[in-house]
């Protein structure tokens, strides 16, 4: 399989402070593949179970969300975003006279609670679709439950590549790590001019290990070198000085941290303690202002990739931020607000277009969603179940994140499978 099967840019709107970019300057063109999402992806079998049927006057859809625990800032936003989408849909008349009811379950930021939350939504509440989760590690068991029961699931922020390869009922409203890792590798190589980069990976997060793998492969593809990779495990130990001292001894010119903000903040602060003064960058797992608090001066000026930014001038973004502000009295704190909104709208759009009253036909309807104007970009669910959208590089400031560059969508296929 070719490394770069194609390079394609989706329609991009300009954003303030972004230098934009044509984005079709990637080497090694074509050879067939998933560009445009037209080829059928392997392993995406449609489930065979009966599925749930809508009963009564309302159509129930479920949301699993990290309302407590480490990922709470994301969970809160994704819930608010989803609720906003449902309220708007109902205010516009619902579908065939039926209103949508959003059932919310807390996953407590844990995979096992995410599984039982999904089982409750699918088995007891008989929802027609599940929205969530923000984290890849929690989405994996939840998606399995949905696939087995013929209920579609649209992940909000789960970017790990193989999630949608596990069944035809699994979709997402965000880009994948194949794009995210490659985009960050490109940014590091071309814009930050880094050549010898160390990688910090959270071994406990499927998101982090997946993202690090793609990044390493892509960075080497662009011509850079991986100086070393160090590991840690989230959820307990907050002492990273041993790993950072090891990294320092390899003299890298940059450090890629693929973990979540909960650990990246302390890592940034401790890298100053061991005197590792090189640029740091990472993926959308950094997205919370908690990062600035816990990272202090160690995190300021560093870069990460995200799905969109509140300050973008696109009409969808400004409209969404205004509505969100009006309903909750504060703007969305992370990108998960917009992704929760978009993921819910993917389900609602499919519901409206097909008039489906059972979860099984809703699966087909969601797979057919095309060119939906989402807050985080135009969403087309391809045969592989993934949304294809551009990404935005943000820089960490003293109190907030500033957009610095938009990276258009391109396809990077990992050779290792």
Partner 1 sequence: MDWGQLPQQLVNGVQLGAVYALIALGYTMVYGVLRLINFAHGDIYMVGAYFAYYTAMVWFNRMTMNPYVMLIAMLLIAMVGCAILGVIIERLAYRPLRNAPRISVLITAVGVSLFLEYTGRLIFQTSPQPSIVEEVNVLAKPIHFAGITIQQSQLAVLGVTLVLMTGLWIFVTKTTMGRAMRAVSHDFATASLMGVNVDRVVVVTFVIGSSLAGAAGMMNATAFGQPLQPFIGLIPGVKAFVAAVLGGIGNIPGAVVGGLIMGCAEVLVVWAGYAGYRDAVAFVILIVILLFRPGGLFGSTADKV
Considering the complex, state which of residue 292 and residue 346 has its C-beta at the smaller distance from partner 1.
292
**Using CB under 8 A, which residues numbered 274 to 293 contact partner 1?**
274-275, 288, 290, 293
Considering the complex, state which of residue 66 and residue 359 has its C-beta at the smaller distance from partner 1.
66
Considering the complex, state which of residue 208 and residue 270 has its C-beta at the smaller distance from partner 1.
270
Contacts of 177 (CB under 8 A, 6+ apart): 159, 160, 161, 207, 210, 211, 214, 283
The two structure tokens encoding residue 87: 């309220």
**Using CB under 8 A, which residues numbered 62 to 81 contact partner 1?**
67-70, 72-73, 76
Considering the complex, state which of residue 110 and residue 160 has its C-beta at the smaller distance from partner 1.
110
Instruction: Based on the shown chain and the rule CB under 8 A, indicate whether residue 332 belongs to the binding site for partner 1.
Output: no
Single residue of 19, 30, 38, 237 touching partner 1 by CB under 8 A: 237
Size of the site for partner 1 (CB under 8 A): 40
| Least Å from the CB of residue 277 to partner 1 | 10
Considering the complex, state which of residue 100 and residue 291 has its C-beta at the smaller distance from partner 1.
291
Instruction: Based on the shown chain and the rule CB under 8 A, indicate whether residue 192 belongs to the binding site for partner 1.
Output: no
Instruction: Based on the shown chain and the rule CB under 8 A, indicate whether residue 295 belongs to the binding site for partner 1.
Output: yes
Single residue of 294, 302, 376, 406 touching partner 1 by CB under 8 A: 294
**Using CB under 8 A, which residues numbered 13 to 52 contact partner 1?**
none
Closest CA to 66 of 119, 103, 104: 104
Single residue of 262, 306, 359, 376 touching partner 1 by CB under 8 A: 262
Of 17-25, 45-53, 219-227, 234-242, the window that binds partner 1 (rule: CB under 8 A) is: 234-242
> Could you give the count of Cα atoms lying within 13 Å of 223 in the half-sphere of its Cβ?
8
Instruction: Based on the shown chain and the rule CB under 8 A, indicate whether residue 11 belongs to the binding site for partner 1.
Output: no
| Least Å from the CB of residue 287 to partner 1 | 13
Of 6-14, 180-188, 265-273, 382-390, the window that binds partner 1 (rule: CB under 8 A) is: 265-273
Single residue of 297, 313, 368, 400 touching partner 1 by CB under 8 A: 297
Closest CA to 156 of 144, 170, 141: 170
Q: How far apart are CA 210 and CA 161, in angstroms?
A: 7
Single residue of 23, 254, 266, 385 touching partner 1 by CB under 8 A: 266
Considering the complex, state which of residue 268 and residue 351 has its C-beta at the smaller distance from partner 1.
268
Q: How far apart are CA 393 and CA 110, in angstroms?
A: 28
The two structure tokens encoding residue 256: 């890629």
Separation of CA 205 from chain center: 14
Instruction: Based on the shown chain and the rule CB under 8 A, indicate whether residue 388 belongs to the binding site for partner 1.
Output: no
Considering the complex, state which of residue 26 and residue 201 has its C-beta at the smaller distance from partner 1.
201
| Least Å from the CB of residue 103 to partner 1 | 19
| Least Å from the CB of residue 69 to partner 1 | 8
Task: Check if the beta carbon of residue 360 is closer than 8 Å to that of residue 51.
Answer: yes
Task: Check if the beta carbon of residue 285 is closer than 8 Å to that of residue 305.
Answer: no
Instruction: Based on the shown chain and the rule CB under 8 A, indicate whether residue 242 belongs to the binding site for partner 1.
Output: yes
Considering the complex, state which of residue 98 and residue 241 has its C-beta at the smaller distance from partner 1.
241
Alpha-carbon distances, residue 21 vs 12, 211, 316 (angstroms): 10, 23, 21
Single residue of 179, 232, 308, 410 touching partner 1 by CB under 8 A: 232
Rule CB under 8 A: which residues touch partner 1? 67-70, 72-73, 76, 203, 230-233, 236-239, 241-243, 245-246, 248-249, 262, 265-266, 269-270, 272-275, 288, 290, 293-298
């Amino acid at each position: 399989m070719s490394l770069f099967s194609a390079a394609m840019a989706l329609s991009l709107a300009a954003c303030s402070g972004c230098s934009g970019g044509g984005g079709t300057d990637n080497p090694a063109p074509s050879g067939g593949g998933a560009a445009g999402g037209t080829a059928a992806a392997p392993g995406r079998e449609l489930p065979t179970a009966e599925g749930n049927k809508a009963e009564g006057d309302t159509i129930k859809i479920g949301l699993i969300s990290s309302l407590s625990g480490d990922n709470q800032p994301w969970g809160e936003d994704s819930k608010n975003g989803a609720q906003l989408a449902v309220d708007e849909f109902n205010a516009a008349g619902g579908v065939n006279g039926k209103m949508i009811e959003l059932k919310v379950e807390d996953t407590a930021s844990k995979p096992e609670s995410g599984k039982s939350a999904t089982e409750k939504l699918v088995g007891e509440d008989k929802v027609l679709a599940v929205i969530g989760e923000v984290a890849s590690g929690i989405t994996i068991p939840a998606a399995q439950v949905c696939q087995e029961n013929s209920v579609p699931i649209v992940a909000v922020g789960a970017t790990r590549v193989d999630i949608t390869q596990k069944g035809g009922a699994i979709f997402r409203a965000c880009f994948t790590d194949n794009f995210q890792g490659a985009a960050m590798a490109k940014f590091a190589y071309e814009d930050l001019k880094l050549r010898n980069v160390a990688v910090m990976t959270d071994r406990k997060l499927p998101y982090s290990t997946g993202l690090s793998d793609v990044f390493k492969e892509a960075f080497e593809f662009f011509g850079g070198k991986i100086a070393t990779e160090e590991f840690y495990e989230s959820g307990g130990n907050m002492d990273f000085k041993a790993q950072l001292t090891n990294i320092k001894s390899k003299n890298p010119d940059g450090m890629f941290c693929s973990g979540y903000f909960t650990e990246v903040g302390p890592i940034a602060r401790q890298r100053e303690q061991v005197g590792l003064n090189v640029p740091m960058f990472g993926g959308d797992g950094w997205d919370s202002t908690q990062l600035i608090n816990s990272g202090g001066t160690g995190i300021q000026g560093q870069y990460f990739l995200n799905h969109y930014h509140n300050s973008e001038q696109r009409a969808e973004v400004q409209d969404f931020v205004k509505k969100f502000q009006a309903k909750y009295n504060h703007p969305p704190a992370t990108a998960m607000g917009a992704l929760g909104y978009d993921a819910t709208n993917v389900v609602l759009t499919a519901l409206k277009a097909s008039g489906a009253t059972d979860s099984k036909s809703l699966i087909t309807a969601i797979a057919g969603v095309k060119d939906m104007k989402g807050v985080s970009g135009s969403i087309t669910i391809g045969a592989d179940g993934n949304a294809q959208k551009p990404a935005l590089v943000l820089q960490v400031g003293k109190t907030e994140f500033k957009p610095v560059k938009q990276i258009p969508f391109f396809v990077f296929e990992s050779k290792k499978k």
